[in-house]
Structure 1
């Protein structure tokens, strides 16, 4: 394990964040187009990326702790601290590029998630017949909207901001 492995883990995490942005934007496009029948699928896709991100964060934490130990830092060192402690050469620049890229992605993610939340909150289950089937469809749609909202809100959890450093918290 070394800085190269940490860099690879950070790249993987950045790819998953980009995929999360794509999935959220796809969801918003469907919602804007009135395609709420696809809400269960888009919510499941967002949730799948969030699950993979948890795995990527675990892998990154393992690699980061190993590098921190090699560089004389505590295992829970932030990426800012790793950049500062990196030995002379290319690692300070490589890790700073990751830090900058992750910060940009987190800000974009916050913006997209907020836009999705607003779009989802504006949805209303379609008015249908007052028979049992129509009421069931309304309840199902309302539940799908609530599930999509809950998953979208998970996308903005502060699970990475602490690793990046105190000043990296997205607004």
Structure 2
């Protein structure tokens, strides 16, 4: 059952990556629309998906090692190696389809993460120049404590969002798909 269980794990990981892509795109759209009050929520959503993806990657690793053992390969065999060693039947083709789809998702995730990071860095620069993301002065002589606290909270939200977006690449999955030795 190695190929079937591995395929199921790959489907789950694909679903998680699609959800991550959706969350990153949602975050970007809110930022572009000026809905910065949602930044904390969108960041938490991205973070939650990243946490779930760690478990999906673990499940994939377990199923991959089981399939590798069944097919006479080392436990850390890449997906390329598993495809080559797959038994007669549809297994190799199914695994190759997963590899192509996961590779495409990783490319799209990279694009979304870069776009989000650029927007967040732009917001951070705007905040450090003494203006709010909307362009109004906030820390000048007339600024009250509430405005300053709002700016500090927004700066913290931006920094947190930047940190989370920078965690979105999946280098271990990329290595697994490409067959690079770890």
Bucket of the pairwise TM-score, normalised by the shorter protein: over 0.9
Give me the whole-angstrom Cα distance separating, in 2, the residues matched to 1:72 and 1:159: 22
1:10 matched residue in structure 2: 10
Give me the whole-angstrom Cα distance separating, in 2, the residues matched to 1:92 and 1:28: 37
1:120-159 matches, cutoff 5 A: 120-123=120-123, 124-125=126-127, 126=132, 127-128=137-138, 130-159=143-172
What's the Cα RMSD here? 1.2
TM-score when scaled to structure 2? Answer: 0.88
After superposition, what is the alpha-carbon deviation per residue over 1:78-123, rounded to whole angstroms, capped at 9, x for unaligned?
Answer: 0010001101110010000000000000000000110111111111
1:40-55 matches, cutoff 5 A: 40-55=40-55
1:29 matched residue in structure 2: 29
Cα 1:166/1:7, change in 2 over 3 Å: closer
Q: How far off is 1:156 after superposition?
A: 1.7
| Unpaired segments ≥5 residues, structure 2 | none
The answer to whether 1:74 aligns with 2:80 is: no
The alignment covers a number of residue pairs equal to 167
The answer to whether 1:162 aligns with 2:175 is: yes
* Residues 131-140 or 157-166, more deviating: 157-166
The answer to whether 1:93 aligns with 2:106 is: no
Q: SS of 1:62's equivalent?
A: helix
Is the Cα–Cα contact under 8 Å of residues 46 and 164 in structure 2 kept in the other structure? yes
Give me the whole-angstrom Cα distance separating, in 1, the residues matched to 2:155 and 2:161: 10
Runs of 4+ in 1 over 6 A off after TM superposition: none
Q: How far off is 1:136 after superposition?
A: 1.0
